[in-house]
Amino acid sequence: MNIVAARVIVCSPGRNFVTLKIETSDGLTGVGDATLNGRELAVAAYLDEHVVPLLIGRDPARIEDTWQYLYKGAYWRRGPVTMTAIAAVDTALWDIKGKVAGLPVYQLLGGRSRSGVSVYGHANGATIDELLSSVASFVSRGYTAVRVQAAIPDISEIYGVSTATVYEPASAALPTEAVWSTPHYLAHLPAVFERVRAEFGPTLRLLHDAHHRLTPIEAARLGKALEPYALTWLEDPVPAELQDGYRLIRQHTTTPLAVGEVFNSIWDCERLIRSQLIDYVRATVVHAGGITHLRRIFDLAALHQVRTGSHGATDLSPVCMSAALHLDLAIPNFGLQEYMPHAPETDEVFPHGYRYADGYLHPSEEPGLGVDIDEALAAKYPYRPASLPVNRLTDGTLHDW
């Protein structure tokens, strides 16, 4: 059996997605997510121009060899565009291997280590009262873990807070500009968590995403201030290029730390993991080289008591979510999976067998990943340019978004 075709499908059912579909001489197909929010066409071109020609004629069973061929063979290693393209190929090949074996992919990864994949939802509100009812709605649907993001007085628009049913920060063709003030944020957030903890008691798992906006010492102060509310994790307190930032935060607070949604290789977190500077690694299938490479990151994490918390925002397609769930079910050191339901149009274009019940997601039991792309339907939703926002401090200085 060999690969006879590979198609890059760019579509926008609710938002933009890039998907790779590989076809074999036996008539089997496999799918991989290749979506890089706001930079979609760079990955599509990387695949179309530089990867698809290399796939034709290859043996789809040789997943590891193909991974090494694309990684080492490019000479130019790592980076989000390259690693997202490799991830798409890798994911599609795991899908095919599952279909050949007649097994769901988690069985090929060692089988089930748990009965379901524990997920967290996103609660937010323009006021604390609105936030409390948002948390309550997750609790009533069985969620045992909730990410809490709150509006901040005197800041008009803020990451993670929106009244839309499907949160989508990348909507305008060109980047919109938001305003940010760390002093306002640090002054407000502890009181938010005080209210949420008081209302929902000690066992609901609470998380918060600082979205790379703080310095290490500001993050340390926030971590200390939040200690009474026993967060499950504080996410992306500082940008992670400088891994020593986490050492500084760690010296000051017992609030657990999570990072990794922008990581694309094991080298982004090798020191963070080996030095036990973080508690959860949030790398994902689509942006970190596929199931093959993410498994390598998670195995390193397991040796150092770091658990997983894979990114699961709506810009990761149902193909990525399907792959993530198979990995989450199989690995020993799973922590939590982020879950934001997609728009109905997205769900229609990507028919999938995973399902939510009582705080857990369950992967499909079909052979492979249990997800596909309806190409005819996808063609009805053409790509439209959409950028993530940028962030400026109150004096106009460009800041991390």
**Contact residues for Co ion, defined by CB under 5 A:** 209, 261
| Site for ligand EZ4 contains 292 (CB under 6 A) | no
Residue type, 354: Y
Per-residue interface string for the shown chain with ligand EZ4, residues 372-401, x marking contact by CB under 6 A: ----------------x-------------
- One DSSP character per residue, 157-184 reads --TT--SSSS--S--SSS--EEEE-HHH
Nearer to Co ion, 97 or 307 (CB): 307
Q: Which of residues 321-340 bind ligand EZ4 (CB under 6 A)?
A: 338
| Site for ligand EZ4 contains 313 (CB under 6 A) | yes
Which has the closest alpha carbon to 289: 307, 265, 271, 320?
A: 265
Compute the distance between CA of residue 74 and CA of residue 111 in angstroms, rounded to an integer: 33
| Site for ligand EZ4 contains 261 (CB under 6 A) | yes
- Token representation of residue 160: 């993670």
Under DSSP, the state recorded for 341 is P
Nearer to Co ion, 90 or 209 (CB): 209
- Token representation of residue 162: 């929106």
- Token representation of residue 393: 């401090």
Residue 349 burial (10 A CB sphere; 0-12, 13-18, 19+): buried
CB 207 within 8 A of CB 122: no
CB atoms within 10 A of CB 380: 12
Nearer to ligand EZ4, 315 or 366 (CB): 315
Active site residue 106: no
Q: Which of residues 21-40 bind ligand EZ4 (CB under 6 A)?
A: 37
Nearer to ligand EZ4, 39 or 295 (CB): 39
DSSP H/E element including 194: helix 182-200
Nearer to Co ion, 23 or 400 (CB): 400
User: What's the closest the beta carbon of residue 167 comes to ligand EZ4, in angstroms?
Assistant: 7
**Of the ranges 80-88, 250-258, 307-315, 374-382, which one interacts with ligand EZ4 (CB under 6 A)?**
307-315
User: What's the closest the beta carbon of residue 35 comes to ligand EZ4, in angstroms?
Assistant: 9
Would you state the torsion angle of the CA atoms of residues 128, 164, 234, 310, taken in this order, to the nearest 10 degrees?
150
| Site for ligand EZ4 contains 315 (CB under 6 A) | yes
Exactly one of 46, 159, 339, 360 is catalytic; name it.
159
**Of the ranges 61-69, 78-86, 310-318, 346-354, which one interacts with ligand EZ4 (CB under 6 A)?**
310-318
Partner interacting with residue 90 (select from ligand EZ4, Co ion, none; CB below 5-8 Å by kind): none
Nearer to Co ion, 40 or 261 (CB): 261
- Candidate residues 209, 218, 268, 328; the one interacting with ligand EZ4 per rule CB under 6 A: 209
Partner interacting with residue 313 (select from Co ion, ligand EZ4, none; CB below 5-8 Å by kind): ligand EZ4
Exactly one of 122, 208, 211, 326 is catalytic; name it.
211
- Token representation of residue 199: 């209302």
CB 21 within 8 A of CB 92: yes
- φ, ψ for residue 19, nearest 5 deg: -135, 140
Partner interacting with residue 33 (select from Co ion, ligand EZ4, none; CB below 5-8 Å by kind): none
User: What's the closest the beta carbon of residue 313 comes to ligand EZ4, in angstroms?
Assistant: 3
Partner interacting with residue 390 (select from Co ion, ligand EZ4, none; CB below 5-8 Å by kind): none
Residue type, 302: A
Which has the closest alpha carbon to 52: 34, 28, 40?
A: 34
Nearer to ligand EZ4, 261 or 268 (CB): 261
How, if at all, do strands 398-399 and 360-362 pair?
unpaired
Name the 3-class secondary structure at 188.
Answer: helix
Active site residue 211: yes
User: What's the closest the beta carbon of residue 132 comes to ligand EZ4, in angstroms?
Assistant: 21
User: What's the closest the beta carbon of residue 162 comes to Co ion, in angstroms?
Assistant: 15
C-alpha of 93 from chain center: 20
Looking at the DSSP bridge assignments, the partners of residue 180 are 393
Number of residues that bind ligand EZ4 (CB under 6 A): 9
Which has the closest alpha carbon to 4: 80, 70, 50, 58?
A: 58
For binding to ligand EZ4 (CB under 6 A), which residues are involved?
Answer: 37, 209, 211, 261, 311, 313, 315, 338, 388
Q: Which positions are annotated as active-site residues?
A: 159, 211
